[in-house]
Amino acid sequence: MANSTSAPKGARTPWQVTRSVWYAMFMREAISRTMADRMGWFWMIFEPVALVAIMVGIRSFIRGDRLIVNAEFIPWMIAGLMGFFLVREGMLRGMGAIEGNSALFAYRQVQPVDPVLVRNFLEGMLRTFVFLLFIVGGLMLGLDLYPDNAIRAMAAWLSLWYLGLGLGLFTSVAATLVPEVGRIIRMLSLPLLIISGVIFPLNQLPHWLLEYLMLNPIPHALETLRLGFFDNYQTIHGTSMLYFWLVTLSLNALGLLMHLRFVDRLKAK
């Protein structure tokens, strides 16, 4: 009688089902991301290279490197660009994850949060690989791109990755339910690049303005990432990873709660 009420022999646990779903979605996303577009890898590498080249050209006129204490300008900017792209792509890719996988919601094992998690993981892996390419290429060209404190650099990189996940969870729900939100977020990505201290240091700004800009969590992790590459680097006043993690954990919690609250509406979209 005990055997008749127990689970069928060989039945998979919920974790095994979820893991299978994530693996299948990861392979689907990976093939689509890297092979569907022949120029995908090119643009992934060319975009930061082009921005670095443009900023180096601008530097020759304004001498922006003089504003950075104890760090070379080009490695400083590469670290900032790659860290920012990790967050930005986590946010933007998350917005289209639900709509792009809506057909899969016919299977009850697939939830709207699954494609967001898978896309963020894949994007983080790709961006990490591209960053490693930049580090190797920079070292071959004689740039100081070897981290002085590798543990701090990796911790800051993973922190930025997690922030991108939190933003992706939030924007995936907001942009799916209200499409106009997605357009606004895309428009804000360029100003966010500027006010996050990615291409120009924020230290020279007035203190009253810096107090407002540092409400943005991205500069806190970017400065910590740069500190991992340059031991004597002078970070922006007010840099705090405690504040960064309070915001990041709150974003992730809010995003997950939104997915739970609106799961039926997300599936119906």
Q: Per-residue pLDDT tens for 195-218?
A: 998 888 888 888 889 999 999 999
Lowest mean pLDDT among 48-52, 96-100, 263-267: 48-52
Q: How far apart are CA 65 and CA 144, in angstroms?
A: 14
Per the CB < 8 A criterion, the answer to whether 112 and 98 are in contact is yes
Q: Which residue in the block uniquely carries the two structure tokens 């970070």?
A: 235
**What pLDDT does 254 receive?**
97
**What pLDDT does 201 receive?**
84
Per the CB < 8 A criterion, the answer to whether 126 and 44 are in contact is yes
| pTM over the 0.75 mark | yes
Phi-psi region of 144 (alpha: psi -120 to 50; beta: other; left: phi over 0): beta
For residue 186, give every residue at least 6 positions away whose Cβ sits within 8 Å of its Cβ, in sequence order, or none: 92
Residue with the bigger pLDDT between 213 and 2: it is 213
Q: How far apart are CA 181 and CA 130, in angstroms?
A: 29
For residue 68, give every residue at least 6 positions away whose Cβ sits within 8 Å of its Cβ, in sequence order, or none: 76, 201
